Amino acid sequence: MDILSKLHPPDLTRLQSRRARLLRRWLAAALVLTGALLLVHPGSARGAPTAPAVVAAHDLPSGASLRAADVQLAELPDEARPEGALTSLDAVDGRLLAGAVRAGEPLTDVRLATAAAPGEPGTATVPIRLADAAVAELLRPGQRVDVVAASEPGAPASVLAGGATVVTAGHQDPAPPAIGRTDKGPLVLLRLPEAIATRLAAISLERPVTVTLR
């Protein structure tokens, strides 16, 4: 005779209720475990193929020169990997970011400036202030520009440097200029051949300069 048949109806009800609670607890634990597995291994837990991708280890500003501590490899499922995602840490070491990125964001080829980072042999980085602050707001790291000196009496407008690479473009100081000081745009860092960089640095102290966008 089944043991359940020997129980009185109230005892049978309590036993069935206890079994139902245990079953719900086991199901809840299984769901929590499954959720944790999906968070740690989102692709492999579902059986979807994954591949390594370079992601930002923390928030990075535009124009940052990438170092080992700034990036890491993460396994991402194919549907989460954007086009042009980078897969090697060596491919980003020392490169400049063309735009700001958030922590955990995959880095793609278009996120990097086209030129190498400062320190490339035969080049130098020179800071200049543009005559028009609004022009500096249009510049982005990796962009190519031509530097032009404004015309003055006895000195016509001229191209001082062609094909300079924008390293960083600062923001205009919101404070009003001091009395007696002519307000100029924010500092812009440009990379170009050493000889031209030296000449540009000297001329920019004497004449207003601006850039034309390529």
Query: Is the separation of the CB atoms in 100 and 70 below 8 Å?
Result: no
Instruction: Provide the CATH number for the domain around residue 79.
Output: 3.90.1210.10
Q: Are residues 81 and 130 in the same domain?
A: no
Please name the residue that has the structure tokens 């809840």.
28
Q: Are residues 95 and 131 in the same domain?
A: no
Residue 41 lies in a domain: no
Q: Is the predicted pLDDT of residue 157 greater than 80, yes or no?
A: no
pLDDT in tens, 85-122: 888 888 888 887 777 788 999 998 877 765 545 555 67
**Residue 92 domain-assigned?**
yes
Instruction: Identify whether residues 103 and 145 lie together within a single domain.
Output: no
Tell me, yes or no, whether 24 lies in a domain.
no
Does residue 208 lie in a domain region? Answer: yes
Instruction: Confirm whether 138 is domain-assigned.
Output: yes
Q: Say whether 34 sits in a helix, a strand or coil.
A: helix
| Residue 195 or 174, more confident | 195
What pLDDT, in 10s, does the model give residues 140-150?
Answer: 877 889 999 87
Whole domain around residue 176: which residue ranges?
123-213
Asked whether residue 40 carries a pLDDT value surpassing 60, the answer given is no
155 domain residue, yes or no? yes
138 and 198 assigned to the same domain: yes
* Structural domain count of the chain: 2
Whether 102 and 156 map to the same domain: the answer is no
Q: What is the pLDDT of residues 64-73, one digit of tens each?
A: 778 889 999 9
Q: What mean pLDDT is predicted for residues 52-57? A: 91
130 and 107 belong to one structural domain: no
Q: Are residues 107 and 171 in the same domain?
A: no
- Cβ-count burial 16-32 (b if 16+ within 10 Å, e if not): eeeeeeeeeeeeeeeee
* Residue 136 placed within a domain: yes
The model's pTM: 0.47
Q: What secondary structure does DSSP assign to 76-135, as a single string? A: EEGGGSPTTB---GGGTTTPBBSS-B-TTPBPBGGGB-SSPPTT-TTEEEEEEEBS-HHH
What letter would DSSP give residue 192?
E
Q: What is the mean pLDDT of the chain?
A: 75
Question: Is residue 98 in a domain?
Answer: yes
* Same domain membership, residue 196 and residue 136: yes
140 & 200 share domain: yes
Report pLDDT for 13.
Answer: 66
Same domain, 129 and 209: yes
User: Domain end: 82, 111, 140, which one?
Assistant: 111
> Do 100 and 128 have their domain in common?
no
Q: Return the residue matching tokens 């404070």.
A: 175
The encoded tokens of residue 179 equal: 């009395």
